[in-house]
Amino acid sequence: MFVTASAPTSKTALPKDLFGAIEMLKKDLNAVVLAHYYQDPDIQDVADYIGDSLGLSQQAASTDADVIVFAGVHFMAETAKILNPNKLVLLPDLAAGCSLADSCLPDDFAKFKAAHPDHVVISYINCTAEIKAMSDIICTSSNAVKLVNQLPAEQKIIFAPDRNLGRYVMAQTGREMVLWQGSCIVHETFSEKKLLQLKMEYPDAEIVAHPECEAGVLRHADFIGSTTALLTYVQISVCDRFIIATEPGIIHQMQKQLPQKHFIPAPPEANCACNECPYMRLNTLEKLYWAMQSKTPAVTIPSEIQQRALAPIQRMLEMSAR
Ligand code: 13P
Ligand code: SF4
């Protein structure tokens, strides 16, 4: 992760109407606020666009705003910067990382690649710019199966860094892939046993799960998909109660769009709030305001890495549109 620009040292008093002040700053800066579903409800409510990683990348690729305020984690803002090297990309808290991105360091990944020389490298977007620069194709949870299916049957594949998504893609495509052994600390926290207890309590509920969950949770899911796909599924399903096996931030949109339906967060193993992503939750509405007001912290990437990381992202956007 490249961290150069720092947060403002002295913060001015917050305006009374933070939402109104952010709207004014959007106009002054010609800025767009892009937010992931795992962000706090307040941030989702002020965003111009809320989406999954693919939707956010597509928005970043097509925006004509001068400033992109990214309410998500570092690899997402970094992707926006790779697509827009000449724009200012702000991330309210630069420490908003990701356990998957942290699990895959460039030196180790170079050795892993060298051990499998005739393999194409498909990397989940949840990785750093350096790993993207070492990859052939980037994918997200919403297009991984589609992209793998487009490769010739004899093509050998490395899939990094999420082993759970990798296993899911292998099951869906029938393809063998060499998996990097990374995982998401949030999606690995769900308890299969507690999920089944909850299902006994609510037998009418459908279980929807993100493919970053472990196989033990996925095997009980009525539907598996990216955050956007989960949101679409609960809209079209005739069921009116759902157990949600992903970060519970998305329940804000589900509840907002479907106030008559019921959404129950899948329980974590321990008695904690560890189904909330600690990185995503570092961003707050206040930090978002300060970032816009001070135009910092900004995401920066060395141009050589940016240029190499751009091609596999563009390949993803092209293959995704097929
Ligand atoms: P998607 O929103 O692309 O499904 O990804 C979920 C996630 O874990 C993002 O970090
Ligand atoms: Fe990374 Fe998991 Fe948080 Fe997504 S939910 S940002 S994959 S740690």
At residue 95, the 3 state secondary structure works out as coil
Residue 210 structural domain:
192-265
The answer to whether residue 271 sits within a structural domain is no
Torsion over CA: 213, 219, 221, 224 (sign)? positive
Band (pLDDT 50/70/90 cuts) for residue 7 is very low
Q: Give me the amino acid identity at 278.
A: P
pLDDT for 284-321, tens place per residue? 999 999 999 999 999 999 999 999 999 999 999 999 99
Is a pLDDT exceeding 90 seen at residue 271? no
Report the predicted TM-score, pTM, of the whole model to 2 decimal places.
0.94
Contact 160, 198 (CB under 8 A): no
Q: What percent of the chain has pLDDT over 70?
A: 96
Closest Cα partner for 212 from 163, 249, 148? Answer: 163
- Of 219, 276, 220, give the one whose Cα is nearest residue 249: 276
Any domain includes 272: no
DSSP reduced 3-state for 262? strand
Question: How far is the first Cα of the chain from the last one, in angstroms, to the nearest whole number?
Answer: 31
CA atoms within 13 A on the CB side of 31: 28
Number of domains in the chain: 3
Structure tokens at 253: 């949109």
Residue appearing with tokens 């895959």: 104
Looking at the structure, do residues 215 and 180 belong to the same domain, yes or no? no
Q: Which of 51, 38, 53, 47 is nearest to 65 (CA)?
A: 47
Q: What is the CATH number of the domain that holds 71?
A: 3.40.50.10800
- Name the one residue in this structure whose structure tokens are 């809209």: 235
pLDDT at 193: 96
Q: What is the mean pLDDT of the chain?
A: 95
Annotated ligand binding at 262? The verdict is no
Residues 78 and 110 in one domain: no
Please report whether residue 270 resides in a domain.
no
**164 in ligand 1 pocket by Cβ < 6 Å?**
no
Q: Is 212 marked within a binding site? A: yes
Ligand 2 closest atom vs CA 38: 5
Do strands 119-124 and 241-245 pair parallel, antiparallel, or not at all (unpaired)?
Answer: unpaired
Identify whether residues 108 and 179 lie together within a single domain. yes
Burial tier of 154 (Cβ tally within 10 Å: 0-12, 13-18, 19+)? exposed
pLDDT of residue 5: 45
Do both 199 and 157 map to the same domain? no
Q: pLDDT, tens digit, for every residue of 234-252?
A: 999 999 999 999 999 999 9
* Residue 17 pLDDT exceeds 90: yes
Q: Do 179 and 209 share a domain, yes or no?
A: no
My answer on whether 177 and 214 are in the same domain is no
The residues near 24 (Cβ < 8 Å, ≥ 6 apart) are none
Find the angle CA(293)-CA(298)-CA(304) to the nearest 5 degrees. 155
Ligand 1 atom closest to the Cα of residue 53 is 3
How far is the C-alpha of 140 from the C-alpha of 154, rounded, in Å? 22
* Rounded Cα gap, residues 273 and 270, in angstroms: 8
Whether residues 91 and 113 fall in one domain: no
* Residue 53 annotated in ligand binding: yes
Mutate to test the pocket of ligand 2, among 183, 190, 280 (most ligand atoms within 8 A of CB): 280
Band (pLDDT 50/70/90 cuts) for residue 12 is: low
22/87 same-domain check: yes
Q: In what order do the strands lie in the sheet with 156-160?
A: 137-139, 119-124, 156-160, 178-179
CA–CA separation, 70 and 56 (whole Å): 9
Give the residue, out of 91, 212, 218, 275, with the most ligand 1 atoms within 8 A of its beta carbon, to mutate for a pocket test: 212
- Predicted local confidence at residue 294, as pLDDT: 97
pLDDT tens for 170-203 read 999 999 999 999 999 999 999 999 999 999 999 9
Asked whether residue 28 is assigned to any structural domain, the reply reads: yes
